[in-house]
Structure 1
């Protein structure tokens, strides 16, 4: 039976092959089009990733990031998301989850903060089943890349924070194909009452490095955190069902298995309510439970 590490490497290789095929299709498409869809890359013009950032009812989203996600003049391909950390983390790390000044959308206690394991048997790749009314979404959490994020996600799951919550946002534009979940209020502005810092891949860039704002491809099968700007992660996360172009300012903390991708494909195929490219999914999707396998 393959180990978790072997399954992870196989999944990465498969995602890389898918990315290469999609990149070739994108090159052909560019030859016949003048610009990307107005609801694709263009949705993040002006304020960078403002439209994608979680809107919590204040101005932080509009100030979240500089830099526009646009095609370069040379027409070169967007870089791929880094495959992993250049240097491994220590065996344990400490995390911080300060209050964000907002009432939790659902009662929740912050996670523990000290001695969070990053490696070792059962701690590198953690299997989780996210059951929804549309089918199971299997997740592999990458504790060695983003341990504080995984620690928070598992803590909230153990408190049943996600149970009975809706996935409130589906985006179906060519360059942004995600399902966003994790807000008990269903409004896109809710959270657990605390926040925490970005991890991988943001922390792979030096402070103020312009490359940290340049778009990369978050490949199909990526699990990442939504935010309202740097270091404002809470409970909301997004599931990438199609290669998506974003600056590396969204913490990646896992991947989605084939069963989960099949569930996401079904939800995406039904589209967005009212036929839009961004909004509530037409196929209402509710998380019934999130449990470790």
Structure 2
């Protein structure tokens, strides 16, 4: 398989339980279509890498992050690498708003949950990486209800040209068979396997059962859910991945990603 897994969730659904896998097929949570909802065609597994390490720095603590690993997928926009010498603040929250053509989606990013992922997201927003980009995938299936964004190409395969290590969630409710519940309101990174986080992320609009493989960035507000519900009500374009999984019929474009 020569295609790069979409950094998202390539999820194979077994017995109504979505098992996210690295691959090229669906992109609910994956750039290279490594995503949710769909039959995953397994690609080469990424080598496990050491996770971020925490160190003291000034008044607050930081986590050392590595962003210079080349990604396999196409580069949506070349904006370079995150700054700060890979040192990401790992305490506090940041307000982050996706201004879309369907309405604003206010998000509270939590640095403590995934400092390297949040640092990367803020870097990309500052470079206007997300401006003018679509939310390219919507899933309306049992056990998986997410809207995925963050790929300038809109294909589910695009990324920022770099990847970084996993910051796996440890506080999500177990759901059995190696999965957990990503609750409604969660915002998390999409990826195509270990160490393949890039720019794609997903918004959970209904409790979703997935492996604990996707770093949690934070949460969105009830006002955001109103916008997402409007998009969900429009349904999904048929035939792209499978029934209930594809591009939203009501297009959603991030006009501007605003920090603060």
After TM superposition, the score normalised by the length of structure 1 is 0.68
Query: Once the 2 structures are TM-superposed, how far is the Cα of residue 92 of structure 1 from its aligned partner?
Result: 1.1
Residues 53, 229 of structure 1: 8 Å contact kept: no
Q: For residues 132 and 100 of structure 2, what CA distance do their matches in structure 1 show?
A: 9
Q: For residues 103 and 271 of structure 1, what CA distance do their matches in structure 2 show?
A: 28
Change (3 A) 1:55 1:200: closer
- 1:247 and 2:211 matched: yes
- 1:95 and 2:65 matched: yes
Decide which moves more: 150-159 or 212-221. Answer: 212-221
Q: For residues 203 and 64 of structure 2, what CA distance do their matches in structure 1 show?
A: 26
- 1:225 and 2:189 matched: yes
Query: Per the alignment, in what secondary structure is the counterpart of residue 248 of structure 2?
Result: coil
Whose helix fraction is larger, Structure 1's or Structure 2's?
1
After TM superposition, the score normalised by the length of structure 2 is 0.76
Q: Which residue of 1 aligns with 2:49?
A: none
Query: Once the 2 structures are TM-superposed, how far is the Cα of residue 103 of structure 1 from its aligned partner?
Result: 4.4
Query: Once the 2 structures are TM-superposed, how far is the Cα of residue 93 of structure 1 from its aligned partner?
Result: 1.3
Q: For residues 188 and 31 of structure 2, what CA distance do their matches in structure 1 show?
A: 17
The unaligned stretches of length 5 or more in structure 2 are 1-11, 35-39, 46-53
Q: Which residue of 1 aligns with 2:87?
A: 115
Query: Once the 2 structures are TM-superposed, how far is the Cα of residue 243 of structure 1 from its aligned partner?
Result: 0.4
Deviations 1:175-221 (A, max 9, x none): 1000000000000000000000111316x8xxxxxx99711100000
Q: For residues 92 and 135 of structure 1, what CA distance do their matches in structure 2 show?
A: 34
- 1:193 and 2:161 matched: yes
Quick one: which of 110, 114, 117 aligns to 1:149? 117
Query: Once the 2 structures are TM-superposed, how far is the Cα of residue 55 of structure 1 from its aligned partner?
Result: 5.9
Deviations 1:258-278 (A, max 9, x none): 111111111111110239300
Deviations 1:124-181 (A, max 9, x none): 1111111000000000001011110000000000000000001110000121000000
Q: Which residue of 1 aligns with 2:94?
A: 126
Q: For residues 111 and 178 of structure 2, what CA distance do their matches in structure 1 show?
A: 25
Deviations 1:1-31 (A, max 9, x none): xxxxxxxxxxxxxxxxxxxxxxxxxxxxxxx
The unaligned stretches of length 5 or more in structure 1 are 1-37, 66-87, 205-210
Residues 227, 250 of structure 1: 8 Å contact kept: yes
How many positions carry a matched residue from both structures? 222
Q: Which residue of 2 aligns with 1:106?
A: 77
Quick one: which of 37, 42, 46 aligns to 1:62? 42
Structure 1 or 2, whichever has the larger Rg, is: 1
Query: Once the 2 structures are TM-superposed, how far is the Cα of residue 107 of structure 1 from its aligned partner?
Result: 2.1
Query: Once the 2 structures are TM-superposed, how far is the Cα of residue 54 of structure 1 from its aligned partner?
Result: 2.3
Structure 1 segment 252-271 matched on structure 2, within 5 A: 252-271=216-235
Q: For residues 40 and 239 of structure 1, what CA distance do their matches in structure 2 show?
A: 22
Give the CA RMSD over aligned residues: 3.0
Q: Which residue of 1 aligns with 2:50?
A: none
Query: Per the alignment, in what secondary structure is the counterpart of residue 155 of structure 1?
Result: helix
